[in-house]
Amino acid sequence: MIPSANPSIGDEEKRRVEAVMDSGMLAEGEVVEEFEAEFADYCGVDRGLATTNGTTALHAALVGLDVGEGDRVLTTPFSFVATANAARLAGAEVYFVDVDPRTYNIDPDALEARLRAGEQVDAVIAVHLYGLPADVERLVELADEYDFRLLEDAAQAHGARCDGERVGSFGDAACFSFYPTKNMTTGEGGMILTDDEAVAERARRFVDHGRTSGYEHASVGHNFRMTNLAAAIGRVQLDRLPEFTSARQRNAARLTERLSDVPDVVTPHEPDGYEHVYHQYTVRVTDRDALQTHLANHDIGTGVYYPIPIHRQPAYEDVSGSYPVAEACAEEVLSLPVHPELDESDLDQIAEATAGAIV
């Protein structure tokens, strides 16, 4: 069976975890601080704040951005539900903007139309879906013109770039996930990045029970702190991220070469100036379910990300709006294996089985 994901954990990660265990300092501490600084530096941002997972990173970042009760947050309906949930958990109202059919990311033209019509927008969460940056340069321009906060949800886009700049460095803040299937992992974990000291301080207090010092708590908060154990894994994974990224990009290029002429298969789009890091290699096909079944019969794992747009989820049935592009994508997308553990024979098997299902 060719799995759809296969986390790569090596001897060095195990050695670093053992070192933390031997030290007795298992909870948040110096290793976390080192990981925060190294990840922020990698992305070209001043400050990093590690959390327990990507969802808590989003929640705490919104608190840091002072987005909450009475605020309106716009985001994509085509993402994992955590993107919208975080805004609701922060107390904000959530609304959606349709996506670009080529990139699957939030459509800046649709967003601008809403803004020009006078809609109140206090914050926008832009998801870099599947590892492809959203149109961040356009979104930054809109944020400046219409005075809203821009939060990057980079949970799937570690190391992705737009015009040479890494995602995580464009918005007022950005969030990453280190879930086991992501491009790098800490087991579970998240990271907030920002250049804004005030945003970082509010988020850091929220992550640590609202603590200001010792047992003094200036506000209500959670315990969203990362452990040294997780950070130890993350530091090694960050060192290995360039090799992981290169492997994913090579694998994606080989799949695209083999599938680009297959009828009814739309391969991933990578605009000029953008660097896709292929958390997922996602194709579109008219009969997605038939292709998924065919590949399963050939021992090839796949995934559908995401079969139900957020606005169609029961938890969001109170949010009105029509998002036909997101709904069409949800019916047709299928993610093929692209992870670094694949070899050329695996990739050829995936491509041949996919082409065989369509012809």
Q: Could you report the per-residue pLDDT of 266-321, keeping only the tens digit for each?
A: 999 999 999 999 999 999 999 999 999 999 999 999 999 999 999 999 999 999 89
In CATH, the number for domain 11-236 is 3.40.640.10
Which neighbouring-strand residues pair with 284? 266, 333
| pLDDT for residue 171 | 98
| pLDDT for residue 290 | 96
| pLDDT for residue 74 | 98
Whether 350 contacts 2, CB under 8 Å: yes
| pLDDT for residue 213 | 85
| pLDDT for residue 214 | 85
| pLDDT for residue 237 | 98
For Cα atoms 139, 56, 69, give the angle at the middle one, nearest 5 degrees: 65
**Which of the 8 DSSP states describes residue 279?**
S
Local structure of 84: helix, strand or coil: helix
| pLDDT for residue 110 | 98
**Which of the 8 DSSP states describes residue 308?**
S
**Positions of E strands within 114-164:** 123-127, 149-153, 161-162
**Nearest-CA neighbor of 349 among 274, 299, 305?**
299
Residues (pLDDT < 70) of the chain are: 359
Average pLDDT of the residues of the chain: 97
In the block, tokens 């080989």 appear at 254
What's this model's pTM, rounded to 2 decimal places? 0.97
**Cβ contacts of 87 within 8 Å, gap of 6 or more:** 58, 62, 67, 73, 75, 93, 94, 123, 125
The domain limits of the chain are 11-236, 241-358
Instruction: Report pLDDT digits (tens) over 91-110.
Output: 999 999 999 999 999 999 99
Would you tell me the crossing angle of helices 288-297 and 344-358 to the nearest 10 degrees? 130
**Nearest-CA neighbor of 339 among 180, 215, 232, 199?**
180
For 108-126, b/e burial (b = at least 16 CB within 10 A) is bebbbeebeeeeebbbbbb
Indicate the pairing of strand 123-127 with strand 72-75. Answer: parallel
Which neighbouring-strand residues pair with 216? 213
In CATH, the number for domain 241-358 is 3.90.1150.10
| pLDDT for residue 359 | 59
The amino acid sitting at 200 is A
